[in-house]
Amino acid sequence: MSTSAEQPERAAFVRAEGVLVSRGVLSAVAYMAAHRPGFRERGLRLLQTATAAPLFAALGQRDRALGNRIAHLPLRDMSEDRIAVLAEEYVEDILRDKVLDTGVELLRRLRREGFHVVVLCEGIDEVMGRLVRSLEVADDVHANRLEYKNGRATGKLEDPVLGGYEGGRFVRDYAAERGLDLARCRAYASKGPDIVLLSAVGEPCAVNPDYTLRKAAREADWPVMDYPA
């Protein structure tokens, strides 16, 4: 996490996946599973990733935090050093090409307008945190964190797990700690469960929304941004 020393007056909360980058959690996990040592172990973890995919999709509109927990189980027993190496490779070889230029410009514009930009990532810090910080478009970056014991991943995510309905709680806690007036803050997100995040601020905006969020935005009269993904 990166934190600005000055207390912001207005913040803009941005969900990275869907707004800033077009790839999601499972892509990174599959990449790491495919690069595990040993044919048997690699096959087992890829199968586990494939099994997690429909569960992640099914939970995506109901309990996205649980979906994120399930999605990262294939990383169990991988060393912290190996995950760091693969994360760097994935960011540079694959994920950087999936950055949405319009999203980057959106965040830069928000900073020019004086907003304290806070990016929330469902992906792990080794991947999404690394990418977002390298883009230099945010003041704070918050990503999910893998739990490690004795230098190896347990396959679990540390609490709190970002994703879905937890976004609203995060925004309210963040604002309370910094004395922010949420009525003057903005939020940008693309998934149905992010309705809670968007509802927490005075100026919400749905970006490249899925069906659920588009419908909610229309009913709530929220602005909608669509740009090439």
Spell out the domain ranges in the chain: 11-225
pLDDT one-digit tens code per residue, 172-229 = 999 999 999 999 999 999 988 899 999 999 999 999 999 999 999 999 999 999 987 6
Fold of the 11-225 domain: Rossmann fold (3.40.50)
Instruction: Give the pLDDT score at 36.
Output: 67
Q: Is the pLDDT of residue 44 over 70?
A: no
Q: Is the pLDDT of residue 101 over 50?
A: yes
Question: pLDDT class for 57, splitting at 50, 70, 90?
Answer: low
Q: What are phi and psi of 54, to 5 degrees?
A: -65, -30
How does the average pLDDT of the chain come out, rounded? 87
Q: Which helix (H) or strand (E) is 192 found in, with range?
A: none
Mean pLDDT within 146-152: 96
Instruction: Give the pLDDT score at 35.
Output: 79
Question: Among candidates 190, 187, 155, which has minimal Cα distance to 68?
Answer: 155
The pTM score is 0.87
Q: Is the pLDDT of residue 3 over 60?
A: no
Cα 173 from Cα 194, distance rounded (Å): 16
pLDDT-above-70 percentage for the chain: 84
Give the C-alpha distances (Å, rounded to integers) separating 146 from 2, 37, 65, 204, 218: 18, 20, 13, 30, 36
